[in-house]
Structure 1
């Protein structure tokens, strides 16, 4: 298989990261989204090529559509996520990346850094598609949540995927920017949705009631939305979406209707997750938990360190307040952050890890 990094090299990198995990100490630090003063510099990634068994590049057969938001504040995480996906799939040239990005804003010192230019410079062999997301479409629908980062319009762009992607995209994997994939993404892509509009790991042991306020549960008309369903928590940072079925079912409108209720009655405290739960919890295709080892960023308030859950892992997700690049740069990383470090393409990262 003609690929820049062999499976053996990928395995070695992961083993090295696991060794660092065993040696590192865990400590918590309060971190959140920061504004980058200028465009960060990234190393150019190696070119990844298809194996002999893969369909030709550009062929609809075997294409895997992956959607992510593109935000300057999370660019370092996006780079690592893309790198990990390409490194671990046998058919990297068949992965089609779709980036949802807001228009660049001007500041006193000039325009915001252009994250798409950074993506193209780091992965010059990729041909990503960028879709401009208009923040005004959702800004008036957003209610203040427990953390400022959750209130950013791009955090809600996943609701509008079906309206944003081209008509020929009928299925898409949506991923947050704080993930790394350590398995072949085609396995997640090929999940049988079984007639459902969304597939994702489902966590029925979680206390579902805590995602909504007492005002919601005490209102029989509102809480009746779950009648006939067994609602379970799922994380919207890793989803396989049947785009065609989402469009036909008017799911964007249904999510927006719950956001309108939230504006009037304050029925939840988090950002874009609860309206998804209100519409889809108990009615999704459950995927193996290995595809979202979530919560590695800690809780939404403190971001304290957390350990891995037992079991096999295909995707690591630093959901929560703590982001691995910020904790590593602060020299107060959590143990799990060393699993993210091998995928960091930031130019200063290699020097920092060696010190």
Structure 2
């Protein structure tokens, strides 16, 4: 009996120690920030990882590629490399289900010579920050929030260009990349109050171009910001980011703060003009961003299947953005011919372009 009692005591001690060890591991894990991405290196044949390193002649471009819109991302990439002689390095951010799709799209098409890295975004970092909204569920896709986490993507460059996947670049990307940011500014955006042609388009489709269109000014949290509701907004679908300054100012933490605030207080909604990814950017970068040349972000092409810009104006634009529900790979859409010239058919047949006659 004494021996059995001693064995039981030893077992109790071991169980206590094991419980303490498990508690320690759990607390340590919970104290660590969730990893934003998992990297998957896939470089073009003949290129070296060194091409990704910080150099003056390499332009880093960040673009997301969702499973259902990979073909759109590839059209954007094609338009960029076709209109520059600069060396461009693409950070292609996607979710786990589309990593192989994106890689195969590149390897089996004319894009196989590009320099790139595929990064798998971790949607768990958005837990407690984004709530479901049925009005425009497409705006809640996890990849819409990649732009909030640029310094955490493992990018080795001091600055980078971010572009949405419904963009076509007609100018030389090195001119956009080379913009001089004002001291203390972490990014450059296009103001929503820039070109007369844009104003006409905005009026015709009923788009909002002020903070009132993105924030709920009935909420005290919004009133306390002291931002004039009639002040011009900006579009975060295309921007140049100073990664070093972004990190220094803890921009990502600030953006997450407002995401969490909205999760609790509903201070903005995707039923309003800009969904849930634009309002935090508008708040954090208010009066703290450099303005892009408006021809480097001609937008609203996707807001109406009827409202059109003049062809001469679009020919002179450096970048076209089909923000809105009417995308150029679907029908109905406007100015889709300017997008389709850069489209590369999906070798797997997943991404299909629809046109008025029903042909794909």
Shift of 1:277: 0.5
* Number of the residue aligned with 1:4: none
| Residue 335 in structure 1 maps to residue 327 in structure 2 | no
Q: Is the 8 A contact 1:230 1:281 kept in 2?
A: no
Q: Secondary structure at the match of 1:225?
A: coil
TM-score by length of 1: 0.72
* Number of the residue aligned with 1:15: none
* Number of the residue aligned with 1:275: 280
* Number of the residue aligned with 1:240: 240
Aligned mate of 1:209, from 191, 208, 212: 212
Whole-angstrom distance in 2 between the partners of 1:182 and 1:315: 6
Q: Is the 8 A contact 2:76 2:168 kept in 1?
A: yes
* Number of the residue aligned with 1:197: 186
| Residue 68 in structure 1 maps to residue 63 in structure 2 | yes
Aligned mate of 1:114, from 94, 101, 114: 101
Whole-angstrom distance in 2 between the partners of 1:138 and 1:322: 27
Whole-angstrom distance in 2 between the partners of 1:247 and 1:57: 20
Q: What does the per-residue CA deviation read over 1:302-355, in whole Å, with 9 as the maximum and x for residues that have no partner?
A: x5433127574100101011111122xxxxx43311211111111688997997
Q: Secondary structure at the match of 1:98?
A: strand
Whole-angstrom distance in 2 between the partners of 1:58 and 1:260: 35
Aligned mate of 2:130, from 126, 142, 145: 142
* Number of the residue aligned with 1:305: 306
Q: Is the 8 A contact 1:66 1:175 kept in 2?
A: yes
Q: Is the 8 A contact 1:296 1:305 kept in 2?
A: no
* Number of the residue aligned with 1:316: 320
Structure number with greater CO (CA < 8 Å, separation at least 6) is 1
Whole-angstrom distance in 2 between the partners of 1:174 and 1:350: 25
Shift of 1:230: 9.1
* Number of the residue aligned with 1:83: 78
Whole-angstrom distance in 1 between the partners of 2:285 and 2:355: 43
* Number of the residue aligned with 2:204: none
Aligned mate of 2:300, from 295, 300, 325: 295
* Number of the residue aligned with 1:130: 118
Higher alpha-carbon Rg: 2
Q: What does the per-residue CA deviation read over 1:108-145, in whole Å, with 9 as the maximum and x for residues that have no partner?
A: xxxx8622221232211123111221011114311234
Aligned mate of 1:284, from 257, 270, 289: 289
| Residue 103 in structure 1 maps to residue 123 in structure 2 | no
Whole-angstrom distance in 2 between the partners of 1:273 and 1:251: 14
RMSD over equivalenced CA pairs, Å: 2.9
Q: Is the 8 A contact 1:203 1:233 kept in 2?
A: yes
* Number of the residue aligned with 2:199: none
Shift of 1:257: 0.5
Segments of 5+ residues of structure 1 without an aligned counterpart are: 1-46, 48-55, 106-111, 328-332
Q: Is the 8 A contact 2:210 2:229 kept in 1?
A: no
Whole-angstrom distance in 2 between the partners of 1:247 and 1:99: 21
Aligned mate of 2:148, from 127, 135, 159: 159
Segments of 5+ residues of structure 2 without an aligned counterpart are: 1-44, 46-50, 195-208, 270-274
Q: What does the per-residue CA deviation read over 1:137-195, in whole Å, with 9 as the maximum and x for residues that have no partner?
A: 114311234311101111111101111133x3110100000000001000000000112
Q: Is the 8 A contact 2:76 2:169 kept in 1?
A: yes
